Amino acid sequence: MKDRQGSLGRGFLYGLYQGRLRRSLSSSAIPKHVAMIFDGNRRWARQRGLETAAHGHSAGALKIHEFLRWCDELGISVVTLYLLSNDNLVNRGGEELEQLIDIIAELSEDLACTNDWRVQRVGTKEGLPKPLIDSLQAAEEKTASNTGLHINLAVGYGGRREIADAVRSIVNQHNLQGGTLDDLAELLTPELIAEHLYTQGQPDPDLVIRTSGEQRLSDFMLWQSAHSEFYFVEALGPDLREVDFLRAIRDYGRRHRRYGS
């Protein structure tokens, strides 16, 4: 009985603190675009003695639904989720990768049926199995006219590969138009490269969050995050709490973004 009362008391205090955090946030300090690296799913499963990493990935997918609701409630416009990297496709194999791919496919289908959210895949199709490509494409097409939260699913994604693909696209387009190398040298600007990224037309992320205590980008949005703020959370992905997220937003709002000035 005491344990239950203690749990209820902690839950009540947690709710009060969470509400106070929300009220402390200024609407003018809410980021427009949040990029999220959900990390630690495998460690979460190991710590609980679960049989496979898939249990952690499934728990992480459930947490993603919560996280997106938190973002939507705050009025954030764009969220980019790092779900499967090019490195994962090369370095992870066998049953774990197959299970993760199935979980991502199911996640994309679920998100396409949620609210007025718009789903977009960012990344290359190279190395992705056709059923996953089909699921991502179907989610994108189904939500293309939606005007709510814009969700980028970074699947088969790598920041270096994205920049290389952007430059390749520019060169091919320029060649088709009969341009010369000298002309291209004059035209090649950061703005032009940005127009050919997977996220073309979208604002760059204001805030990049990573769970699990790791403090690195892991080839995620290298170009777009040039002026982003970073926030690292100790909690493993499935254990992320709304207060952790609200603290990240509060911390972002307290920072002064100078952009070199």
Catalytic, out of 88, 152, 204, 206: 88
CA 39 to mean position of chain CA atoms:
11
User: ∠231-88-92 over CA atoms, to 5°?
Assistant: 130
| Residue 252 and residue 235 in contact, taking contact as beta carbons nearer than 8 Å | no
Question: 128-146: string of b/e by CB count within 10 Å (b at 16+)?
Answer: beeebeebbeebbebbeeb
Q: Which residues pair with 250 in a beta bridge?
A: none
Query: What would the two tokens of residue 25 be?
Result: 């946030």
Burial class (CB in 10 A: 0-12, 13-18, 19+), 36: buried
Does residue 86 have an active-site annotation?
Answer: no
Does residue 87 have an active-site annotation?
Answer: no
Burial class (CB in 10 A: 0-12, 13-18, 19+), 126: exposed
User: ∠223-114-211 over CA atoms, to 5°?
Assistant: 45
What are the catalytic residues?
39, 88
